[in-house]
């Protein structure tokens, strides 16, 4: 029973770790790393929900449709990965611009420099 629910526990721990990292850290890079952890936890959760024990991959085969895993969940996970990469790249480019303008990536120092 515990091994069947292990991916759910692991995804919960990864998501909580990412949220805590985003809340407690002051460096912008570490905040983006926390967001990436949350995205990885959500992807693990999606894959775990779509898995059926003893199922086959949802491709064109002669297997029965009763033993196929859910293809919609896999498509959602792939879409989430692509969106996560684009979001991370955009946030990192913002951090580069902030670092070039202010000379720091610390949230508190950037906040104090408002004029």
CATH code, 27: 1.10.287.3510
User: Quick check: is 13 in a domain?
Assistant: yes
The single residue listed with the structure tokens 């611009």 is 97
What does the alpha-carbon distance between residue 26 and residue 110 come to, in Å, rounded to a whole number?
Answer: 10
Question: pLDDT digit of tens for each residue in the chain (115 aa)?
Answer: 777 889 999 999 999 999 999 999 999 999 999 999 999 999 999 988 887 777 767 676 666 666 777 778 888 999 999 999 999 999 999 999 999 988 899 988 887 766 5
User: Quick check: is 15 in a domain?
Assistant: yes
User: Quick check: is 84 in a domain?
Assistant: yes
- Residue 49: C-alpha distances to residues 2, 8, 92 (Å): 15, 8, 31
Range of 14's domain? 2-53+67-112
């Amino acid at each position: 029973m515990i091994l069947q629910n292990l991916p759910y526990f692991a995804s919960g721990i990864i998501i909580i770790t990412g949220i805590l990292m985003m809340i407690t850290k002051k460096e912008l890079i570490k905040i983006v790393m926390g967001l990436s952890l949350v995205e990885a936890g959500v992807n693990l959760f999606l894959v775990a929900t779509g898995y059926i024990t003893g199922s086959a991959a949802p491709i064109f085969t002669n297997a029965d449709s009763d033993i196929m895993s859910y293809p919609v969940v896999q498509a959602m996970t792939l879409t989430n990965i692509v969106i996560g990469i684009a979001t991370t790249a955009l946030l990192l480019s913002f951090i580069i611009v902030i670092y070039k303008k202010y000379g720091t990536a610390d949230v508190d120092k950037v906040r104090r420099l408002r004029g």
